[in-house]
Amino acid sequence: MAVPDVDVAALQLFLSEFLSADLRLNRLNGGDESAVFLAETPSQRLVVRVALEAEGYRKDSLVANWLAGTAVPVPAVLRIGAWGGFHVCITEYIDGDTVQSLDAEGLSPVVRSVAETLQDLRRFSPPVPDSAGPLDSEGRCRFRSWPEYLAESTSAARQTRWGDSLNPKAWMLVARLSELAPDRRGLVHGDFGSNNLLTDGKRITGVLDWSEAMIGDPLYDVANQFFWRTWLACMEAQARLFEEDDQFCLSERDMALVHAYQLHIGLRQLLAYQKADDQQMCTWTVGRINQLLSSAS
């Protein structure tokens, strides 16, 4: 979904009606679906996002409420509303740079904090005891278990026109996920890392964008670091920590799950990129999946 083309002057006039007449609005680097702004009044700084749909913002609000008071830093959602055919979300401002923006020197002191944040998230028990899979903004999932979700989503991914470009072994290994994966009911971010993490250079100060949140196995977020390691330096640094640091090293069984989850992540991404008609990323994703299969041979 495209980032909306926002009339900044009109948005500022709309926001000034309930924030402050003395309002400054500056565009920030945004995501794939939202135009993002820093709103500054004499008394506060806020983040304003504008998108074509509100479901992702409502999920942000749900998760922010769940995690309030925990060690996982999530910005509070203050208001979600409609404006000019768009949806506007106002959240508290959290200072920091994205982990993705850091160079090698800047990454070094941060990677342990990223892993610790994942551990903190793993300790949280979401109030969704009887279902799993993708989470909606009401806190519901439509699958009875995490393995059931993995099995059905794999079947959907197989229908992509890119399926024939994949090593046939991919389908065999991912199909086994429904047998291998534990039926855990943790909170999974779904796109953990890179530009969804803010840092002050020492610790993680914010975990952003819960639009892909799921109920399932928290190891799935670890697998995300591994899947994208060849694409982003921050993901490579994070994956290496899980391989080499005694405090965060994974067991042999967990590493086997992480490898299988990477294949599932790849198939999910392939489905999304095909829907967006992003041929370049479809090609890269097919190559990454086949690379994972080759390295495991």
Which pLDDT score is estimated for 44?
94
Please tell me whether the overall predicted TM-score, pTM, comes out greater than 0.85 for this model.
yes
Q: Which tokens go with 82?
A: 């409609």
Segments in the chain below pLDDT 50: none
Catalytic sites, residue numbers? 191
**pLDDT tens digits, one per residue of 17-71:** 999 989 999 999 867 789 999 999 999 999 999 999 999 999 999 999 999 999 9
Q: Which tokens go with 97?
A: 């740079």
Domains of the chain plus CATH, in order, are: 8-92 (3.30.200.20), 97-296 (3.90.1200.10)
Which pLDDT score is estimated for 296?
62
Which pLDDT score is estimated for 291?
92
Which pLDDT score is estimated for 129?
85
